[in-house]
Amino acid sequence: MTDSHLALAAHLSRTWLGGEAELETLAESAKGDQARLEGALSRWVGTHAVDIAGREVRALVTIGADNPWETVLRSAEGGCLSWLEDYGLPVREEERELAAFLYEYPGARRREIGVHIVEAFLHGFLSQSRTRRSRRRVRLNYCVGQEALAQEVLRALEERGLQAVVQQPQCLAWSGAYAMAHGADRAACLSAAALEALLRAYDLAYRRNSPELLDTCGMIGIGQFGEAAGVPGVLEGAYAPGGQRRSRLLELENAKREMEARYLAPSDLSFCKVAFPNLLVGENFPAVFDAFCDLNTMESEKYELIQQTLIDALDTCERVELEGAAGNDTRLTVMLRPLGDGSKETNFLNCGGDLNIPHGELFTTPVLAGTTGTLHVKEIYLKGVYFRDLKLEFRDGMIASYGCGGCADEPAGRAYVKEHLLQGHDTLPMGEFAIGSNTLAYAIARDMDLLPRMPILLAEKMGPHVAVGDPCFARGEDAPVYNLYDKKEMTARENERTGRRRTGEEVYTNVHTDITLAFDELARLDGVRPGGERVPILRDGRFVLPGTECLNEPLERGVQR
């Protein structure tokens, strides 16, 4: 028996399987033999698959008194914070302090934030050319300590006749290095027989809960940031699955995504994601929180009109070229889809501050053939994982090689990238190219020394970026989407890979991770027309396309600390 096996069993029990005492006994009986433990866990999962899947899917639709997370959220209040213990989660002092801070924050400001988030969520149906119909359920995710904000979102939803399906809140103790160490734990349960049992059980669970799933119209997520940057060393005791078990884990996650999409088609949903700082940002927390509250509640129409100018220029181009500066080795060519009728079609979607708060992005799905070169980012957080000197080499839109710094050696760096960015895949396509235009967000983060701590939700608005994995419209490619200002259809919704989705071939990766090239690391970004004429968009980290120069003002004047 090893402590790592007990930790694995405890994590699986808390987050997926239940049966804590039984799993602890299984871990003890394995006597430190990983293969023996994998066999025991797989047999247990095969026996309990219906309960495991049923519990997980029911949590996605349960509202009211039967939802334990909703019960805690509704009971939360300022002053005595004893209700935090009712979660049954490990609560850190920073989370207690955050809860106290938010309950002391001006009530009118909290109310404004909650209403803004819900209005942004509802605006997503308009901006994405979708309809809510009579569906009422909205999944609500938040972090421990954010209850005062989550309650305002809950109230604003109910005032609009919607019902929040409150999910288990994220806690600091189970994020960061802990989440990385346990990211592959479920693979330990996946023998071939256990996988088959789970696939049948999840199919049954989704069918049994289909009326409630069909009543779900989207998701709202309130995230957090503040952790100091740093690549962890070797995660001692982390479970490392063999190739077959890792493949089965990918198969399970892909199958679950496909099952849910039968009832919650991505092209039929809205969502809204927003992030606020936590106490980990340090002594300047109150000022940082105020700054990001202001940023997250800004109106975006002015900036969407500027982005339309960028789109009009890029729609005349066949490709985009990027080159790094100040020690950034980026040299990348991104191919754009040829437009059929430029008076009715566009390659880029103009994004305001609805689906992803704050505002400031225009994006497309690149053509894979000819998309080639190097993407280099000096520092970035991607889904809670820190990367230093991340380098990706693309060949015809696919990652051909990769690595990062901060690890013991080059093989360790490649392993780190494969585990935490490629998520076990041998390669990934470039699923998105975008330009983030929120220079105010960048200036705030830069001037408050927070750039390395920015979550990708914010970082993607702070410069040009690509996403590796599936396109933004994965599993929803056939639904037309129109820009609000020019009324053109955004037709770049698939690439050569997802275009084969009707052949029976597996074309989706279930990965979509944005990687931003910061303004200060950018020498140039040009559109290039079919005849070779260049359309300068950015030079030395500043917008130079006529009509976009006002975006540079925050970068030049800085932000008061």
Domain positions in the chain are 1-226+240-297, 300-557
d(CA 341, CA 333): 24
Say yes or no to pLDDT of 559 above 60.
Answer: no
pLDDT at 488: 97
Q: In what order do the strands lie in the sheet with 270-277?
A: 163-166, 137-141, 216-225, 270-277
At 25-74, the pLDDT tens digits run: 888 888 888 899 899 999 999 999 999 999 999 999 999 999 999 999 99
544 Cβ contact partners less than 8 Å away, ≥ 6 residues apart: 536, 537, 538
What is the Cα–Cα distance from 251 to 268, expressed in whole angstroms?
A: 24
| H-helix or E-strand spanning residue 538 | strand 534-539
* pLDDT of 354 above 80: yes
What are the strands of the beta sheet with 398-405, ordered from one edge? 398-405, 385-395, 367-382, 331-335, 319-324, 522-528, 534-539, 542-543
The tokens describing 151, both together, are 């309650």
Q: What is the DSSP string of 25-41?
A: HHHHHHTT-HHHHHHHH
Q: Are 154 and 71 in contact (CB under 8 A)?
A: no
- Left if phi > 0, otherwise alpha if psi is -120 to 50, otherwise beta: which for 158? alpha
Task: Check whether the bond before 480 is cis (ω within 30° of 0).
Answer: no
- Cα(first)–Cα(last) distance of the chain, in Å? 53
pLDDT at 554: 94
Tokens 């100091």 sit on residue: 228
Q: Looking at the whole model, is its pTM more than 0.95? A: no
Measured CA to CA, the distance from residue 84 to residue 233 in angstroms comes to 32
195-223 confidence digits (pLDDT tens): 999 999 999 999 999 999 999 999 999 99
Q: DSSP label at 470?
A: S
Kindly give, in sequence order, each residue whose CB lies less than 8 Å from that of residue 13, ignoring residues fewer than 6 positions away: 19, 20, 23, 24
Please give the average per-residue pLDDT across 297-318, as a whole number: 96
Burial of 24 from C-beta contacts in 10 A (0-12 / 13-18 / 19+): middle
> 151-193: per-residue pLDDT in tens?
999 999 999 999 999 999 999 999 888 888 888 899 999 999 9
> Is residue 2 over pLDDT 70?
no
Question: How confident is the prediction for the chain on average, in pLDDT?
Answer: 94
144's tokens = 């421990």
The secondary structure of 246-267 as a DSSP string is: HHHHHHHHHHHHHHHHHHS-GG
If you average pLDDT over residues 534-553, what whole number do you get? Answer: 97
pLDDT band at 521 (very low <50, low <70, confident <90, very high): very high
